[in-house]
A = this chain, B = another copy of it.
């Protein structure tokens, strides 16, 4: 189908309707008035700002998270900003439907109002990057820069964001490491409209550095330091933040997510389809058939994780999976891949080459002519020399489950922080998963979960 037709149809679906727009604008006006009222009541010198995709008018239809930033004067002490900010947030939220306190660099109020999530975030009222004191301060500057530069390309941003969501490369969270909304906006502003951004997927990677704020001229020393640092960190892209020369907007973008964008852009340009934006479900299949086809085995650890947000939990699950991979390889099991996630309980899946290993392993010892050599010689029944070293054999557990239990008991697996205890109490299943994990197990074993051609 013609690419223009597809894009037009997709835009129809993702651009908010006039009705939706009116609702959002009404909501924002209402919240602003409420905030100003409470600021006055509390006698604070605070300015409310809307930031995020709603404020930039780059939000997707139906996606209405409100970010209301409460900006304190720069000379406010941090402790005071925390206390007063939270106080103000609470005061506003009392008039909304419900709220809770959430914790990031400092605490903020997460409320709900008329079916919409409303974050009330205290920050400093910065005018320039030199003023930035806390992680959230920059948002006001981002917002302003995008509004000033977007030049009517709002729907192009919507297309790109929807495309990135469709191909599973959207979101800068640590456990996703994809494209942030702000990065998508910058790419549309600097690399041309949606289709041009896709066509530039290869060029951008080679060019590597994108400098929409012209910092390399305006602040060469600082900007060059940023480039040097980020190149050394081997990022796929270095996008110098147009509002702060010290920062790479794409610092959290992984090579994997850029690679998906790279191939999917190519595929879309070759044979465009609506499916890139709204993918049909992943292929379904039986994980047991996959195991039979591959001749491999699936070990699944399932456990109740401690109460941690995904941002914290998922990286620790990944770390643990890598720990199991290394430990099992040392024990003679080949780990072909791993997969982690949370589906009610947390899980770590390991694809291994076999359920059982040999019962005896060769145990390398020290050089024969040393004290430790004599010790090894005395302690083992059958001992022989190859080169200068002594060798013997040891009897080991055969089954992969027994090996894992033993590794955990001996504390020989590098596990993620905060989840050791939970992992140690995990149920360990081999070649079987409970119903709710069957789909996940199939997607993992077949690699359809990550298949670029899927």
Contact = CB atoms under 8 A, between A and B. Distances in A.
Given A336-B362, A393-B447, A385 B296 contact: no
Chain A interface category by residue count: 35 or more
How many identical subunits does the complex contain?
2
A398 B293 CA distance: 12
B295 A368 contact: no
A260 B296 CA distance: 43
A382 B453 contact: yes
A289 interface: no
B202 A369 contact: yes
A358 B295 contact: yes
A390 B255 CA distance: 11
A327 B54 CA distance: 60
A359 B448 contact: no
A195 B427 CA distance: 62
Interface in A374-403: 377, 381-388, 390, 393, 398
A203 to B, nearest CB: 11
A446 interface: yes
B448 A382 contact: yes
A294 interface: yes
Contacts of A294: 358-360, 393
A294 B398 CA distance: 10
A107 interface: no
Residue from A293, A295, A332 having most chain B Cβ neighbours under 10 A:
A295
Given A255-B388, A382-B446, A263 B368 contact: yes
Contacts of A356: 295
A295 to B, nearest CB: 3
B262 A452 contact: no
A451 B383 contact: yes
A260 B388 CA distance: 11
Interface string A332-365: 1010110000000000000001101111111000
Interface in A236-260: 255-256, 259-260
A408 interface: no
A205 interface: yes
Contacts of A260: 385
A23 interface: no
9 contacts: A255-B388, A262-B368, A262-B369, A295-B357, A336-B360, A337-B362, A382-B454, A383-B453, A384-B450
